[in-house]
Structures are given as structure tokens and as C-alpha cells.
Amino acid sequence: MEKNLNFIDHEYIYSLMNNSKNITESEIDNILDKAASKKGLSHSEVAALFQIKNENQRKKLFEIAHMLKESIYGNRIVVFAPLYVSNFCVNNCTYCGYKRENEFERKKLTREEIQTEVKLLEKMGHKRLALEAGEDPINCNIDYILEAIDAIYSTKFENGAIRRINVNIAATTVENYKKLKNAQIGTYILFQETYHKPTYESVHPKCLKGSYEYHLNAFNRAMDGGIDDVGAGVLFGLADPIFEVIALMMHNEYLEKTHGVGFHTISVPRLKKAEGMCLEKFPHLVDDEMFKNIVAIIRLAVPFTGIILSTRETPELRKEVIKYGVSQISAGSSADVGGYSEREKGHHIPNQFELADHRTPLEILKSLLDEEYVPSYCTACYRMGRTGDRFMELAKSGNIQNVCGPNALMTLMEYAMDYGDKDLLEKVEKVVAREIPKIKREDIRELTKNNILKIKNGQRDLFI
């Protein structure tokens, strides 16, 4: 019989938060200096950094976060898009537009409708999707999710192909996780929403999702089912953000201890307005300044873990926090079921939440290039089995750079040749000329040049 463990010690976290109020500026400096060496942070050190009040120290926090991000990930930014396939949901989460008490016409996409959405996403240049769905064991069961995955992988449009699907669906059983693994998903993503148990129970009234422990132990079941890449997150704004970040670190360490590897990614969504909810009822809303602190402190605490930022945030804020540790962003997103095809028609479907960045993928890529980032559509690690502890071993040794750098350039050139305009092509040519000399190993550098030439000649044999 499965054990539903609660390994988030609330009293311990409260004591850390209370003790951190007595931290000195000298002690904070020591913590920041330690973090700069890529050694991560203890729970008490995480709590302490949230007490920074000195602007010079806050500037130092951001500078170290930027340095760590650049030294581990370089200037690469992975680009993806969400695909919502069903808004049927039996839950009544107080913060969500899909909650069951909201009255609107529910919809789940047919195989043909999924393929239509995928073609539009491929036309935008996307290679990596995050599959999203509400929780409904009847209208959106595991068989439907598996059929959706098959429809996505089997849909090819012009030069487009979805090479990796990350899946964000409700907590489920070991048997169902085995099925997802066999369907060749990438990362299994699940947000705890909030690690604060009293808050969790209050925002999930009379829900199938209402069991805190069952939800908390989902990654144990996923890993028991063979999935070694898991992505976590909380919805910042439900409970005290300091509590949430410490709890995230505790969860990550628990998985490292019990399964040998922690989170592949951490997502940092903030609570946003949705149908049928009022933001004023949530006392822990996170403002922009606290949000920047959250991203930077997570980067210092888990330097080798990816951080995902969605289009919930404005272009201006996204531009800033990318510097502090974000390694993956969504682009051209729709949070509607069937939203990519309906968006052009001007039809309205209730969103799960409000979006703030409405730029096209092409516009976002140009903005990234102007900031001297390298947008990446690479999915090589999944394809080559560099997942779980194997990925972390490469990341911590620094050897992942030898793979990620060249593949980022190649997939960027592929995007530019297939979907770019003259302006983008010119920007990409400059990036390629700038970045290739930075690649240290001669054989990798030559491989990059040769494969870029192959892309230009229409060959896709792939390197990725």
C-alpha cells in the first residue's frame, strides 16, 4: 500500500523564517559569497536572503544570480509553448478559471483539432510543447492524454515537427506514469500550488485535488513509474512566498535523497486574475520586487536546476528576470483550449488565467537576440537519454555546455531558415559568427559549422 508522506515540516520552516529576522548584513555577505561558488544554499540561508534590505546587497544578489546563470547555462534560452487540450475539470480550486463552479461550455479537443493546433504551433517554429489539461477522470482520462500525445508526435507540417512533449496533468498513479513514460514524454510537470497545508486545503475545497499528501507524493509515484525528469513549482500568491521557496528546496532535497535526483525545472508562476475569482481575497500576492528576489534566490539555491517563466509576466519583467536565472520561456502562448486556432477568429474562450505577454514567437526571438541571448529549440538531451541524474552529472561538471551551445545555434539557424524574415536572419547570422568562436572544442565547432551548412542546404539529419 502506498504511503502518503508529509516531508514538509511546517514548524521547522516557521522557525527558519522567524530566526532569519535577526540576520546581520555581514552574515548575508558571507551567504552571497558562498553562493557565488555554486555550492547552493541551506534552508536557513534561503530564509536569510529574503531579509536583504541593503540595496547594495540586493544588487549583489542579482549580480551573483546572473553570473551563475551565465556560467552554467551560457546565454541560451529554451523556447516552448503550452498546448491546452481540455478544460473539463472536477476540481473547484479557488484561484483557477477552469474550476467546476464556473459556468461555461466545456471542451476537449478531438484528435483532428489537436492536429490543427499542432500545425499552427509548428508554423510558429515550436519544437517543444507543454501539454496541459484540467482534471476529469471521465472526460479527460489517461487514455485521452495518451491519444493526445500520439496526435502531437505524429503531426508534421511543412518543415515542422514537435520533438518533445512535456506533460502537466493532475497527480496520478504509478501505472499511469508508466504509460506516460512509454509514450516518450519529456518532463512530467506538476505544481504543488502551495506547500502550506492549511492554505492548500482552503484553496482546494471539496476537490479530487484536495489531498495535500497525495499531491505532494506525486513525484515519488512518477519516479517509481520510470520518469526521471520532473518539474515542480508553486503558484506564488497563495501563501507566504518565503515559506514556499524553502519548501521547494526541501522537496528537491527529499527527491535527491530518495530517488537520486531532484527537480529538472522549477516554474515560478504568479497568481493572476482568472474567471470567477477576486485577487483581493488572496493576502499573499507577490509584487514585482519580491518576484525578482524569488527568481534570484532560487537560482542561488539550486544553481543547476532550470527555471521556467511563462507569459503570465509582462515583456519588461520577463526581460529583467531572465538575467537573474530564468532558462526557459514560453512564447506566443494561448491558455485556451483550441486557442491557437480560435485566436485568429477573434473568439473568446475562458482562460485558465490572464496572460501579459502577447508577442509572437518571432517578436520574442528578435528581442532575445537583441539582448545577446541565443534562443534554443534543442531537445537533444531527451532524445539522447541525458535526463535525470545523467543530465545533472553533466550540468554540474560543466560538460553540458559542449552539447547545449552547438545545438542551440543549430536549432536557432533552423528556425531562422524556416520561419524567419530578413531581419531575423541577419540577427542570427551575427549571433552565429559571435558564438562559434566561443565553443572550445574544435571538433564541436566544426560540427556546428557543418550542420549549419546542412540546414542552409535543406538537410535535417539531425544532430538534435
What mean pLDDT comes out for the span 162-176?
A: 96
User: CB–CB of 295/286 below 8 Å?
Assistant: no
* Residues paired with 25 in a beta bridge: none
pLDDT at residue 386 in the model: 67
pLDDT at residue 400 in the model: 65
Q: How far apart are CA 78 and CA 417, in angstroms?
A: 18
Grid cell of 135 as nine digits: 482534471
User: Which of 165-169, 196-200, 314-318, 374-378 comes out lowest in average pLDDT?
Assistant: 374-378
pLDDT exceeding 70 applies to what percent of the chain?
87
**Does the pLDDT at position 441 exceed 60?**
no
Those residues with Cβ within 8 angstroms of residue 387's Cβ, 6 or more apart along the chain or in another chain: 228, 229, 264, 381
**Does the pLDDT at position 1 exceed 50?**
no
Q: How far apart are CA 361 and CA 245, in angstroms?
A: 30
The DSSP line for 6-58 is ----HHHHHHHHHHGGG--HHHHHHHHHHHTTT----HHHHHHHTT---HHHH
User: CB–CB of 245/300 below 8 Å?
Assistant: no
CA angle 48, 54, 58 (to 5 degrees): 70
Averaged confidence pLDDT in the chain: 89
Cβ burial, residue 422 (10 Å; 0-12/13-18/19+): exposed
User: CB–CB of 162/198 below 8 Å?
Assistant: no
Phi, psi of 16 (to 5 degrees): -60, -45
**Does the pLDDT at position 18 exceed 80?**
yes
Listed residue (266, 303, 342, 271) closest to 97, CA to CA: 271
Grid cell of 232 as nine digits: 515542480
Q: How confident is the model at residue 388 (pLDDT cuts 50, 70, 90)?
A: low
CA distances to 292, 375, 411, 436 from 298, in Å: 10, 22, 28, 30
pLDDT at residue 358 in the model: 84
**Does the pLDDT at position 444 exceed 60?**
no
User: CB–CB of 78/376 below 8 Å?
Assistant: yes
What mean pLDDT comes out for the span 324-332?
A: 93
What mean pLDDT comes out for the span 13-22?
A: 97
The more confidently predicted of residues 131 and 386 is 131
**Reduced to 3 states, what is the DSSP secondary structure of residue 264?**
coil
Domain ranges of the chain: 10-69, 77-383, 388-456
What mean pLDDT comes out for the span 93-105?
A: 91
pLDDT at residue 457 in the model: 61
With the C-alpha atoms ordered 447, 453, 456, 457, is the resulting torsion angle positive or negative? negative
User: Which of 7-21, 58-72, 150-164, 447-461 comes out lowest in average pLDDT?
Assistant: 447-461
Q: How far apart are CA 186 and CA 166, in angstroms?
A: 5
366-387 per-position pLDDT tens digit? 999 999 999 998 876 666 666 6
The more confidently predicted of residues 97 and 250 is 250
Grid cell of 447 as nine digits: 560540427
**Does the pLDDT at position 37 exceed 90?**
yes
Listed residue (306, 266, 330, 313) closest to 121, CA to CA: 330
**Does the pLDDT at position 305 exceed 50?**
yes
Q: How far apart are CA 341 and CA 329, in angstroms?
A: 21
pLDDT at residue 464 in the model: 44
With the C-alpha atoms ordered 85, 86, 91, 93, is the resulting torsion angle positive or negative? positive
What mean pLDDT comes out for the span 5-28?
A: 96
Q: At what angle do helices 315-322 and 288-301 cross, to 10 degrees?
A: 30
What homologous superfamily is domain 77-383 in, according to CATH? Aldolase class I (3.20.20.70)
User: CB–CB of 276/101 below 8 Å?
Assistant: yes
pLDDT at residue 463 in the model: 47
Cβ burial, residue 338 (10 Å; 0-12/13-18/19+): buried
pLDDT exceeding 90 applies to what percent of the chain?
69
Task: Read off the DSSP letter of residue 136.
Answer: B
280-297 per-position pLDDT tens digit? 999 999 999 999 999 999
**Reduced to 3 states, what is the DSSP secondary structure of residue 307?**
strand
pLDDT at residue 351 in the model: 56
pLDDT at residue 418 in the model: 86
